[in-house]
A and B are shown apart, each in its own frame.
Chain A
Amino acid sequence: MADIKLEAIRKSYGRAEVIHGIDAEIADGEFIVIVGPSGCGKSTLLRMVAGLETITSGDIRIGGRVVNKLEPRERDIAMVFQNYALYPHMSVFDNMAYGLKIANVPKPEIAERVAEAARMLELEPYLDRKPRQLSGGQRQRVAMGRAIVRKPAVFLFDEPLSNLDAKLRVQMRLEIKALQRKLGITALYVTHDQVEAMTLADRMIVMNAGVAEQIGAPLEVYANPATLFVAGFIGSPPMNVIRQEIRPGRAALAPGAVIGVRPEHIDLVVPGAGLIDFDVGFCEPLGAETLVHGTTDAGDSLVVRIDGETPLPEAGTRIGLEIDPARILTFDPDGRRAGG
């Protein structure tokens, strides 16, 4: 078990810098999710911690020790890959035992530790099978098992659930979280799925274009996004962006500045009674809730989340939007949160 410190981490391929200086401190036993869109550098960052990519500048410390120049095997880490990366020619048992055999762990202890992991992951009936004889979910468990038998200081997960179907993904998400809690091992988890990030993370690092836009607890990030990017990326549907000042008694926004409102912070009222009106385009009834899409006179597309039992507004009708001014966030033209 160990804490991780990232100090001004940068990565360049030739002249192109893809990671522009990331600082983060991860406490021992913490579950950190690195979330961001494709190509934001989140996997590269994880692979630098793993030792699979070199670090152009900055320091990575695991348990206080700078590991920049260490081989992956010297870093006391375990990693679960997106495609599981199981050894196709070995049985489930041998897949899990491989790292222990290399570490010269005595045979009885290997058998014991693999058996324990197999029991935890409900893999006991499959120990003699080859990976190709397993389902996607079972392969995923074997990959997890391979990581936990080694009792590493740090778990690294590279989009481990993205090859599973939606139902299994939810189930494995819960299992990963429970397992990490139980073992108390520091975890660094990369995903592009903001629901996974919200549900798994103690704290999350939201990345965009090689920069850590915000680091914080999921609900904190959701309620107080530091940038317009974070506001749009975290939350589904994303935060509404309105390009005009709608709060009464305020000066107009600076050119390029915008205000943001979460879809659930808007109530539907009669036209003229709210802060702004919009024309309903269409509705998406999801059961528990309904998403109402519409356009303001200024051309901003907005989404409003209303209770699922409210009667659906007809397309084309004009509706007023009531918003608590305290819920309105403002963003400067550079995308950062404005003071007021």
Chain B
Amino acid sequence: MEKRVVFNNRWLPYLLVAPQLLVTLVFFFWPAGQAIYQSAFIPDPFGLSTRFVGFGNFEYLFGNRYYRESFLTTAVFSVLVTVSSMSLALWLAVLADRVIKGSGAYRTLLIWPYAVAPAIAGVLWLFMFNPFTGIIAWMLGQMGYTWNHTLDGGQAMALVVAASAWKQISYNFLFFLAGLQAIPKSVIEAAAIDGASFWRRFWTIVFPLLSPTTFFLLVVNVIYAFFDTFGVIHTITKGGPEQSTTILVYKVFSDGFVGQDLGSSAAQSVVLLVLVTILTVVQFRFIERRVHY
């Protein structure tokens, strides 16, 4: 049953939502509006005048091979980050859920990486994998594997995926653990008595009952991979080598603030905005159907 709050004062409810609305207006709608507006103009190199070009920026963008490749890079990157961080987090949460002694310590340790800023996480991984001084790069070298993510696009991708996923595991872990603990113990016990082995219980009872959490995390992780991984990529690879780790959001930055092509950058922002909106709608329309609330 839905509980509704009744306010006696007409203006109080508006006052209460005003701060949230204000933040959304100033930090989302205004910049988004600016991006849409600017995407129809090209400024001159010194930013003294702008020329209206209509959809010219978009036409140029989709005719550009690097931009089209960036789509593929983004797809590979976000699928890898989402799948690896969610599956590892689920695995850790299932294990942590079974721990009885010292569970507090395990959980705290597993949640810690979330407190690390993306850029710092990037630097940490960069230190370990630096081709010349990194300890893991050195160990790989000892085993006969040459690690140089500044030359090898595949290695660069692996490294930014690992760093981004690692950073997000804590967040996913926290939600998965809470989700697991919300499943009544007796339901699991009933399944055990019904003859289901641990894995059978997991796939037929636990995983379906966890699906609201999994769905929520899927949406959040895709958005994370699209936007919040900027700091990781900027510190580790700067989009390179040869644009192999230039995801869409990084390209917005590098074309706009490094390449000084503000019109194109704005157009890319608009494309990204539309893309993420479509993705989220698709997730809600087609995946949410399989969620058991």
Residue numbers of A with Cβ under 8 A of B are 50-52, 71-73, 77-79, 81-83, 85-89, 98-99, 102-103, 146, 150
Contacts and interface: CB of A to CB of B under 8 A. Distances in A.
Interface string B182-195: 00101101111111
A315 to B, nearest CB: 46
Nearest to A94: B204
B189 A85 contact: yes
Contacts of B197: 73
Contacts, number: 60
Contact of B196 (A78, A86, A102): A102
Contact of B195 (A52, A73, A88): A73
Which of A51, A85, A99: most chain B Cβ within 10 A? A85
A207 B195 CA distance: 30
Contacts of A79: 189-190, 193
B192 A98 contact: no
A72 B200 CA distance: 14
Interface in B171-230: 184, 186-187, 189-197, 200, 204-205, 208-209
A14 to B, nearest CB: 11
B292 interface: yes
B186 A87 contact: no
Contacts of B184: 83, 85
B191 A71 contact: no
Nearest to A76: B195
A98 B194 contact: yes
Which of B186, B196, B200, B205: most chain A Cβ within 10 A? B186
Nearest to B194: A99
B186 A83 contact: yes
Interface of B: 184, 186-187, 189-197, 200, 204-205, 208-209, 292
A75 B231 CA distance: 55
B192 A88 contact: no
A81 B194 contact: no
B290 to A, nearest CB: 11
B207 to A, nearest CB: 10
Contacts of A72: 189, 192-193
B209 A50 contact: no
B196 A52 contact: no
26 contacts: A50-B193, A52-B189, A52-B192, A71-B192, A72-B189, A72-B193, A79-B190, A81-B190, A83-B184, A83-B186, A85-B184, A85-B186, A85-B190, A86-B190, A87-B205, A88-B187, A88-B209, A88-B292, A89-B208, A89-B209, A98-B191, A98-B204, A99-B193, A99-B195, A102-B195, A103-B195
Contact of B186 (A71, A81, A102): A81
A83 B191 CA distance: 14
A79 B188 CA distance: 12
Given A50-B193, A98-B191, A99-B195, 14 more contacts: A50-B189, A51-B192, A51-B193, A71-B192, A73-B195, A79-B190, A81-B189, A85-B187, A85-B189, A85-B190, A98-B204, A99-B193, A102-B194, A102-B200
A16 B190 CA distance: 27
B120 to A, nearest CB: 41
Contacts of B189: 50, 52, 72, 79, 81, 85
Contacts of B200: 102
Contacts of B187: 85-88
Nearest to B209: A89
A92 B184 CA distance: 18
A98 B193 CA distance: 11
Contacts of B292: 88-89
A82 to B, nearest CB: 8
Nearest to A147: B193
B191 A87 contact: yes
Which of A99, A103, A150: most chain B Cβ within 10 A? A99
A102 B200 CA distance: 9
